[in-house]
Structure 1
Amino acid sequence: MKEFKLENGQKIASGFKTPDNYFDSLSAKVLEQIEQEKEAKVIPLYKRKKVISIAAAAAIFIAFIIPTANHYYKASKELDEATLETYLAYESNLNQYDLIKELDAKDIDKLNKNVALEEETLEDILATNPNIENLISE
């Protein structure tokens, strides 16, 4: 293999040329740009990320707490009528006579106002029910 010497090879002319007296005014231009950059306000990123992460954590915390708290408060305060009726019918030793004994005059008046049966409805119930004698005796 032939020895390659960098000094003896063909030189390729560069396509870049510096303007005349470019390096004489370069340091003045650089110093001028540095002084202008000192006036700019710098906001560090680590402080910004901390605020964003705290806000995101608070939003996630609230998103989990609201449905949970809402569920517990509603469930504990309200008693469903169907649940109460089912409990009294199947789980307790109460019968209809025990319930009637606990009613006072105001409760009976409320029941009379709320129950409005038409004659046709009564006739249909009595006609379709095979145990008419039991209904009459109760």
Structure 2
Amino acid sequence: MKEFKLENTPKIKTGFKTPEHYFDDFSAKVLQQIEKKEIKIIPIYKRKEVVAMFAAAVVVITLMIPIINTYNKSKELDEATLETYLSYQSNLNQYDLIRELDTKDIEEINQNVVLEQETLEDVLSSNPNIENLISE
């Protein structure tokens, strides 16, 4: 294969030429064109698109307020739901529950609960595991 030398090969002319004395007054011509252009400034509140977007945003926010309020309501747990949840948690025992009690909860537990004799007899007769109830 022949050795190729970049310096010895004939050069191709580009075909692009600048006119004579083009760069002598180039900066003056550019500055004249820039000064001729006057920029029209439109305040943002007078633009039709911005006003339309602002109106659309207000309508969307107004329509979203009732939906947000329904999702943010805190729902209190009723006792049955809480008891069902705790009963299905197999890794939770009575000692874990006792550890989480605070003084207010303990005071509520200490209140006297009035049980009628008939109610107590019904519970004991319907539950076959009387020994477990007594040990607890």
TM-score, normalised to structure 1, is 0.42
TM-score, normalised to structure 2, is 0.42
Structure of larger gyration radius: 1
